[in-house]
Amino acid sequence: MYIGWVHHNIPKVFGCLAFVVNPIFVYLVFTGKSICLGNYRFLLLYFAIFNVVYSILEMAVPIGISGYRYCFYLILTDGFFEKASSFNHYILTARCSMLACSYAILISHFVFRYLVILRSKLISTGFHRFMAASFALCIFYYAFFQYVCEKWLSTSDTVKVYIEEHLQEEYGVDPNDYNMLSTIYNESNPQEIFRSWTGVVLLMLMSVGSISVYFILGYKTMKKLNDAQAHVTMSADTAMLQRKLLIALTVQTVIPICISFTPSLIAWFAPVFNFSMGRVYNYSGTIALSAFPFLDPVAIIIFLPILRNRLYQAKQSGEQTGTVSIELRTV
């Protein structure tokens, strides 16, 4: 199902950029003075691997997001898994569940920063247990999102009939030929409306709950950091590093909130008011969802001086090497 050149190509461009940026990000984290990041390096490695996996799914399982009257729907638009089947439907829900996993990974980052300030042994001698708990949380979020998609958001025959004429006019396709997730808030039977509201409310609770944890732990970390410095239990350099890390983490969090949670929120609730963005949403929401695996590591590199300086030094070293080579050839 072809929507447009921008929708078809830009997510692939972001995916390719993510494949380039994340290995560079890992290299910067594990070399030079950035070693002072300690065990946090391995959490950043976990984050980079997730970004690459997310980008692979973005490219292999492209989606389209749209709406018709009181219905929102998400549909596979291209690739090997495009046509309707039980397995392809599972692939669709798995691809969507990766968004939930990003919330879990960010929670792990905030918990880690808070435990650092508390000087917890869990991040030193017990770091393997922390990583196991982080991975378990990610699996829980993935399973929960899968459950909601399968139980409450799977597109029924009633909804397919509701949007059939719209899909044929807008995209020239039959909804019965595609795997879809959808909600409908009016002009349908009470069972379908109840299913939709239940699914959306569950996803909202997961998203808002996760974002609340970010704000609470961020506030508590900054408060502990100020208290520790006020009582001279932490050196100025250590306190500065922790503040920089928290700022980088905040930026790392704001990006998915702006380009993942906000577009999802609009897509879920715009049909409640019989407001449809049609194809326009594919050029904003879908593309935005594909951007954060590339933008997040870039933001961390920019806002964390340890990594930014490493990149700048590497660039300077390359320029100096080039200059020396030219001079040698001249001589």
pLDDT surpassing 90 at residue 45: yes
* Residue 239 within any structural domain of the chain: yes
* Residue 327 within any structural domain of the chain: no
pLDDT surpassing 80 at residue 234: no
* Residue 82 within any structural domain of the chain: yes
Quote the domain boundaries for residue 143: 5-318
Tally the domains of the chain.
1
Helices marked H in the chain — which ranges?
5-29, 40-60, 86-118, 127-148, 157-170, 190-230, 236-256, 262-269, 280-281, 287-303, 305-330
* Residue 181 within any structural domain of the chain: yes
Say what the pLDDT of residue 331 is: 29
* Residue 328 within any structural domain of the chain: no
Paired tokens of 18: 């993510």
* Residue 324 within any structural domain of the chain: no
pLDDT surpassing 60 at residue 72: yes
Paired tokens of 314: 């590497």
The better pLDDT of the pair 243, 81 is held by 81
**The domain that contains 50 carries what CATH number?**
1.20.1070.10
The better pLDDT of the pair 259, 41 is held by 41
Q: Which residues pair with 184 in a beta bridge?
A: 71
- Reported as a single tens digit per residue, the pLDDT across 113-136 is 888 888 888 887 888 899 999 999
* Residue 143 within any structural domain of the chain: yes
* Residue 153 within any structural domain of the chain: yes
- Reported as a single tens digit per residue, the pLDDT across 207-232 is 999 999 998 988 888 888 777 665 55
